[in-house]
Amino acid sequence: MDASVNTDKTDKQEKSSESRISVQDVTMATWVLSLLCAFAVLSLSSACYIQNCPRGGKRSFPDAALRQCMACGPGDKGRCFGPSICCGEGLGCVIGSSVTARCMEEEYLSSPCEAGGKPCGPDEGHCAAPGVCCDSDGCTLDSDCVDGSEHEDVAERKSFLGGSRGELLLHILHPDRARSPY
């Protein structure tokens, strides 16, 4: 009889421990799910975590005076056009290198900036270097960003020696006497 009583107690203890494990499992699953939901909300929210950003983000200042974007590149000869884009007249455009590290700081400033150059491209870009149009996402070649005199030089070079057959023949027969636009 004692053996049957002990067996009953053991069965009851096993069942109660099983029910405790399932309660612990449910509690753990609820905690993990809550944590995942919190991360999802954080990842979908805007980038204004620390500063007091206006409604619509830091780029939504309708009447604020635009400041010039931060200087970047060797000798600060360029301007930031995006978080990883630095362009300048003698520099050209550098994307995603150590030269552009300073441009990441621009993202943390609460006021908007304008990189300069005339507007170009379909995505509200600006001329960043001769023949290059950049916006905050990237750069493309754009003939609107070529100066008038430089644009004429390119056209002249394309039409090799002005396009005249006589000049071409003269250049082939007497290369030292031929007129060259270069």
| Amino acid 160: pLDDT | 46
Non-local (6+) Cβ contacts of 60 within 8 A are: 54
Task: Say if residue 18's pLDDT is above 60.
Answer: no
Question: What tokens were used for 83?
Answer: 């978080």
**Greater pLDDT, 86 or 148:** 86
Give the domain ranges of the chain: 1-45, 67-145
**Please, which residues bridge with residue 16 across strands?**
none
The top-scoring range by mean pLDDT among 41-50, 93-102, 168-177 is: 93-102
Give CB contacts under 8 A, 24+ apart, made by 96-102.
99/72, 99/73, 99/74, 100/72, 102/70, 102/71, 102/72
pLDDT in tens, 22-37: 767 777 778 888 877 7
**Greater pLDDT, 1 or 39:** 39
Distance separating alpha carbons of residues 174 and 103, to the nearest angstrom: 53
Task: Say if residue 109's pLDDT is above 50.
Answer: yes
CATH 2.60.9.10 for domain 67-145? yes
